[in-house]
Structure 1
Amino acid sequence: MLLASVLFLAGLLMLYFGADFLVNGSSRLALSYGIRPLIIGMTVVAFATSMPEMLVSLVAAMRGSADLAVGNIVGSNVANIGLILGAAALLCPMTVAPSVIRRELPFMIGSSLLLYAFCFDGMISAGNGLVLLVLLCCFLGYCLRSARSGQVERVDTDRVREEQARRGRDLLLIVAGIIGLGIGAEMMVRSAMTIARHFGISELVIGISVVALGTSLPELAASLMSAWKGEMELSIGNVIGSNIFNILFVLGLCPLFSPLAVQPTLLWVELPVMIAFSAGLLLICLGRRLNRLHGLLLLVCYVLFIGMVFWR
């Protein structure tokens, strides 16, 4: 048990530092090509910070732990909105771009509703996964079109020139981050399964709470750092993009290796809560601003959600 705890913490550290390298390297590399912060947040940074969820869920799925794989994604998406965006709004209130309200947030909610529909038969199949991956390609196409449109005036050209000279360093950071994530994911899944069995806690609860929080640390670090620097587009774009990637990429890819069984409790409790958090975020953002009161509300709702998971 002691060894499992040590391995869990070591895996968590590997995930954190691996994701930190990957986020920094990939966001700077994208910036060197003049891509604006919101697009970087929704694509490059979101993909990078979703890598822990992807690797942990993929390893869990291949080991036959579907509860851990699916619970990790549901818990991470709730944590991204409640914990991460709530903490970022507390640190620095943010203005929400109109395009986020009209397009990105509805797309995130639509992806969540589609996942819920796929789970009704108690299984996320390979066919379901292919549909999710096709939608991911559509989302990336939209982001690419936005990046090529006339919406690049907000990119700091001095920073672009500065980052262009450091592309080699950024590529090394990306490679080191991917290696760290792979090792950390394997260590974390093995130890989480051992701890869950030792305490008689279901893998679903472990996935929704502890593992989800651990794999959400990169999003937390990226969003808080962006909020601290005043790059609010990057912060909110990271959360929205990460939630979309978690559903379309992670739960699109994992069933191709092994179909994922969905527990009834997930269908009737945790998945509706995830959708409610997404819809609630849209309602809050209709005012075009996330203030500290909104951040506190999101944090309180997240704490209540985690308390409900353990109480049940």
Structure 2
Amino acid sequence: MFLLEPEGWSLGQALIAFALCAVVIALAGTRITGVVDQLADRTGIGEAAAGAVLLGAATSLGGSVLSVTAAWKGHPELAVSNAVGGIAVQTFFLAVADMVYRRANLEHAAASAPNMMQNGLLICLLAVILLAPMLPDVTFWGIHPVTPVLFGFYIYGVRLVQGASKEPMWKPTITGETREDAPDDTTLMPAVSRLWIEFVILMLILGLAGWALEPSATTISRETALSQTVVGVMLTAISTSIPELVTSLAAVRRGALTLAVGGIIGGNAFDTLFTAASDLAYRDGSVYHAMSEDALFWVALTVLMHGILMMGLIRRERQGPGRIGAESVAILVLYLTGVFLLLR
């Protein structure tokens, strides 16, 4: 079967494999939303923390496997562009979710101290990645010093997010449109052990799909003469981010608004570790110094998008242009402008 021999794929076979993996990621990502929502209630960790850690990491697994595999095979441009492109498109998906929730601005309704903390962590992690290429190009055992900094910063940041969830030092003003994290009736849910087993199985499926996407993306880049940055930002990043779109929309429809926002922001913070993991896998030096100018542009653009999102989370506008938040409009315009500049 051709799926077992990726080295010999034609363009048509690569497109078929790409589409199959995208469908698998979409289906598994849809199901895992409900599982994480139930785990948040059964374990008592809350929707914001569950969205930031469990949902964010699980739905990002396919993309992380793809980036690491690409870096290991000597394709750092694809590895990094998939990571930063995924963060950008998932932020775009948050604006789409805001369009779906018509009652009020999503950032207003899902006001949460943990989500604010998570967004601040993400901006810091992106800034470190943006700074890395300007530092000396030195490695120790093939690893740049920025890599352990990213991992350590992320772990510390997650602890701060959990602290903001359990013992927040401030709380947003509750309005008629605010939807607080209200646990569902746990007596109607499956046992915690069953939920964890299903969660792990779905994560493995997402990881395998991401592994299979890498050879198809490399083949598409080679056969179409598209740069790996274009393939990473426009194809693999979007396909591996399908779970974030599906899960955020599903969470909004379920009324789990904090989970929807936390899942996107948490997934984006986790996605910054794609770059660190890619540096571990890349054996020809520092992956940060192999980043293209287009990849650096998308990192800077994403920092700007999340800076605007932070301002929106603080301002908490009830409704803006088109009955969505002004920050969502800005994010939509910035992302589409970035796509236009990339493809011009």
1:308 and 1:217 mapped to 2: Cα distance? 23
Alignment counterpart, residue 90 of structure 1, candidates 91, 99, 110: 99
Tell me whether 1:231 sits opposite 2:256 in the alignment.
yes
What's the counterpart of residue 342 of structure 2? 309
Distance 1:117 1:214, change over 3 A: same
What's the counterpart of residue 140 of structure 1? 158
SS of corresponding position for 1:106:
helix
User: Residues 92-107 of structure 1: matches in 2 within 5 Å?
Assistant: 92=101, 93-94=105-106, 95=108, 96-97=110-111, 99=113, 103-107=117-121
SS of corresponding position for 1:245:
helix
Greater shift in the superposed pair: 223-232 or 71-80: 223-232
Alignment counterpart, residue 160 of structure 1, candidates 165, 186, 206: 186
Distance 1:150 1:110, change over 3 A: closer
1:264 and 1:5 mapped to 2: Cα distance? 25
Greater shift in the superposed pair: 98-107 or 212-221: 98-107
Deviation by residue 1:47-76 (Cα, 9 ceiling, x = unmatched): 112112211111111111111111011111
Q: Contact 1:52–1:181 at 8 Å: present in 2 too?
A: yes
Identity of counterpart residues, as a percentage? Answer: 20
SS of corresponding position for 1:289:
coil
Q: Contact 2:48–2:115 at 8 Å: present in 1 too?
A: no
Deviation by residue 1:134-191 (Cα, 9 ceiling, x = unmatched): 111102222333444379xx5545533433x433432332232133223211221101
What's the counterpart of residue 14 of structure 1? 24
Count residues with an aligned counterpart: 307
User: Residues 50-129 of structure 1: matches in 2 within 5 Å?
Assistant: 50-82=60-92, 84-92=93-101, 93-94=105-106, 95=108, 96-97=110-111, 99=113, 103-121=117-135, 125-129=143-147
Alignment counterpart, residue 251 of structure 1, candidates 265, 275, 278: 275
Q: Contact 2:115–2:265 at 8 Å: present in 1 too?
A: no
2:203 and 2:115 mapped to 1: Cα distance? 32
2:145 and 2:185 mapped to 1: Cα distance? 43
Offset of 1:255 from its aligned partner?
A: 1.7
The RMSD of aligned alpha carbons is: 2.6
Query: What is the identity, as a one-letter code, of the residue corresponding to 2:49?
Result: I
Offset of 1:225 from its aligned partner?
A: 1.2
> Mind listing any 5+ residue stretches in structure 1 that lack a counterpart?
none
Tell me whether 1:272 sits opposite 2:305 in the alignment.
no
Distance 1:235 1:178, change over 3 A: closer
TM-score by length of 1: 0.88
2:121 and 2:61 mapped to 1: Cα distance? 21
Deviation by residue 1:18-48 (Cα, 9 ceiling, x = unmatched): 3334443344223211122112111111111
What's the counterpart of residue 179 of structure 1? 204
Distance 1:157 1:196, change over 3 A: closer
> Mind listing any 5+ residue stretches in structure 2 that lack a counterpart?
1-10, 170-179
Distance 1:172 1:106, change over 3 A: closer
Query: What is the identity, as a one-letter code, of the residue corresponding to 1:220?
Result: L
Offset of 1:277 from its aligned partner?
A: 1.2
Q: Contact 2:249–2:260 at 8 Å: present in 1 too?
A: yes
2:27 and 2:216 mapped to 1: Cα distance? 19
Offset of 1:130 from its aligned partner?
A: 0.9
User: Residues 205-244 of structure 1: matches in 2 within 5 Å?
Assistant: 205-244=230-269
Greater shift in the superposed pair: 292-301 or 112-121: 292-301
1:35 and 1:88 mapped to 2: Cα distance? 24
Choose 1 or 2 for highest CA Rg: 2
Distance 1:107 1:158, change over 3 A: closer
Q: Contact 2:41–2:184 at 8 Å: present in 1 too?
A: no
Query: What is the identity, as a one-letter code, of the residue corresponding to 1:276?
Result: L
Distance 1:81 1:155, change over 3 A: closer
Larger RCO of the pair (alpha carbons < 8 Å, separation 6+): 1
Q: Contact 2:76–2:290 at 8 Å: present in 1 too?
A: yes
Distance 1:48 1:74, change over 3 A: same
Q: Contact 1:52–1:215 at 8 Å: present in 2 too?
A: yes
Query: What is the identity, as a one-letter code, of the residue corresponding to 2:35?
Result: G
1:289 and 1:43 mapped to 2: Cα distance? 27
Q: Contact 2:144–2:279 at 8 Å: present in 1 too?
A: yes
Q: Contact 2:59–2:244 at 8 Å: present in 1 too?
A: yes
Deviation by residue 1:201-236 (Cα, 9 ceiling, x = unmatched): 111111011111111111111111122223221111
Deviation by residue 1:282-311 (Cα, 9 ceiling, x = unmatched): 233332137415334432332222121111
